[in-house]
Amino acid sequence: MSQCEKDLEELRETFKSGKTREESWRRTQLKNLLRLLEEKEDDIFKALKQDLGKHHVEAYRDEIGTLIKSVNYALDGLKKWMCGKKAKLPIAAFPSSAELVPEPLGLVLIISSWNFPFGISLEPLIGAIAAGNVVVLKPSEQAPASSSVLAKTISTYLDNKAIKVIEGDNSVGDKLLQQKWDKIFFTGSTKVAKIVMAAAANHLTPVTLELGGKCPVIVDALTSSWDKNIAMKRILAGKFGTCAGQACIGIDYILVEKTYANELVQLIKDAIPKTFGENPKESHSISRIINRTHFLRLKNLLDEPKVKASIVYGGSTDEDNLFIEPTVLLDPPLKAAIMTEEIFGPLLPIITLDKIEDSIEFINARPKTLTIYAFTKDEALKKKIISRTSSGSVVFNDTIIQYAVDTLPFGGVGQSGFGRYHGKFSFDTFSHEKTVARRSFLTDIWFRYPPWNNKSLQLFRSAYRYDYLSVVLITLGLKKA
């Protein structure tokens, strides 16, 4: 930790020097990050294959490509983001002006997760750099190959006196949390988030928590074969095709009417081999489980007798290769762990309801989640979902797309986290919007000062209602106080 403390002191000195506040420095670092992503693409592919078994196309779609897009978006908007915004002032303050000026928070700690080790590390880093901060990135030790690539490449491509990667296990993370930061950005589990918040409270450090939860998808009866085909592709991509379901915004379970359940199960059974191949493990279309601990956790979810009896597709596991095939379950017990814990894997429970509208009550009876997905053409149902549920986001007739759009904030609510980022929202997350007000000596409001009398009180009553005519009349004695 002595070396860590020296690193943090160097970062603080860099921030004090003011160079990270300069647009030229921010722009240079973002361009270098873009160069890193382009020049080290093969290294990133290999690391993601080694850690998670990700196909290189999936790796580009979900991590490299989205990051290149985000860096370019930040470069295009940086100048405008850095500019202050004029604020309106009441006539009573004339002559005066005010603006809101964004300033960097200072020393930032980013703790990232293992499921998207590059995307979840570098997406917030883009915002922290654009906002002019100095940063420590703590990658997840559970994705060691990716962590190593991040440490080597960031120290080579970016300003090592302003941006550092510190690798290590939980003990390193705990020691980092004991330090004083100006902002902590954490992505991970609710359990660890509580530790992060407790540590941040010691220094009153602001935090952003990106967590997750059991994201449901409501599937209404679809009549068109085209709609059904597209819906199945999007549902399977949102569950099995995104890091094998090891994603905070991935689908956790499906809610459907009983009368439509059998057809839905058959549609999914038909769609899985078309999407991932007859043997998904051999086609490398689905990532593997991150490690043995998580594999056994998922296997234990399936091994509960009543849960195992509810499997209608898949269910096979390969511990040697840490692979679980896409598995679909119909009405597992609601009190079973598979329905009370976040699954974070390629297991898809389908829960049947008497009416699709009952899905709202079902969702509201559980902790708030990061996203609610719904496949429906029923506008009345859409309105009910929006107005009567609470979640980080709602997506109709698709999955995952909200993560990739720069103009939409990404973040949770309640137990699914708080704070938001992506695009300009990342810049805002790592900035403080400082109020700057300017006033002239030319005029003054005499009644704002003692000695007080009833006339002063009446003038205040009128002024705070912006009733300037009454202020003038009372001042001239034309209206009684």
CB 429 within 8 A of CB 102: no
Q: Rounded distance, CA 479 to CA 469, Å?
A: 10
Residue with token string 């107005």: 387
Q: What is the DSSP string of 329-341?
A: EES--TTSHHHHS
Residue 109: phi and psi, rounded to 5, are: -110, 125
CB 412 within 8 A of CB 368: yes
- For helices 170-177 and 190-202, the axis angle rounded to 10 degrees is 30
Q: How many CB atoms lie within 10 A of CB 75?
A: 17
SS3 label, residue 448? helix
Kindly give, in sequence order, each residue whose CB lies less than 8 Å from that of residue 57, ignoring residues fewer than 6 positions away. none
Q: How many CB atoms lie within 10 A of CB 32?
A: 18
| Bridge partners, 351 (sequence order) | 255
Q: What is the DSSP string of 86-116?
A: E----GGG-SEEEEEEEEE-SEEEEE--SSS
Instruction: Kindly give the residue spans of alpha helices, DSSP state H, lying in 203-336.
Output: 225-239, 258-276, 280-283, 292-303, 305-308
Q: Rounded distance, CA 66 to CA 60, Å?
A: 8
Write out the catalytic residue numbers: 210, 248
Identify the CA nearest to 95 among candidates 435, 470, 438, 448. Answer: 438
The predicted model scores a pTM of: 0.95
| Per-residue confidence (pLDDT) for residue 10, from 0 to 100 | 96
pLDDT below 50 — which residues of the chain? none
Going from the C-alpha of 285 to that of each of 2, 237, 349, the distances in angstroms are 44, 11, 21
CB 139 within 8 A of CB 165: yes
Going from the C-alpha of 53 to that of each of 145, 181, 189, the distances in angstroms are 12, 35, 22
Count of residues in the chain: 481
Helices (H) and strands (E) in the chain, counts: 21, 18
In the 8-state DSSP scheme, what is residue 435? E
Going from the C-alpha of 143 to that of each of 22, 114, 195, the distances in angstroms are 34, 5, 21
Residue 439: its H or E element: strand 431-439
In the 8-state DSSP scheme, what is residue 294? H
Residue 370: its H or E element: strand 369-375
SS3 label, residue 252? coil
Instruction: Kindly give the residue spans of alpha helices, DSSP state H, lying in 94-203.
Output: 119-130, 144-157, 170-177, 190-202
| Per-residue confidence (pLDDT) for residue 2, from 0 to 100 | 77
- For helices 144-157 and 23-39, the axis angle rounded to 10 degrees is 130
Identify the CA nearest to 288 among candidates 51, 88, 65, 39. Answer: 51
Going from the C-alpha of 299 to that of each of 303, 308, 331, 339, 474, the distances in angstroms are 6, 10, 18, 14, 79
Q: Is 189 left (phi over 0), alpha (psi -120 to 50) or beta?
A: beta
Tokens coding 38: 């382009």
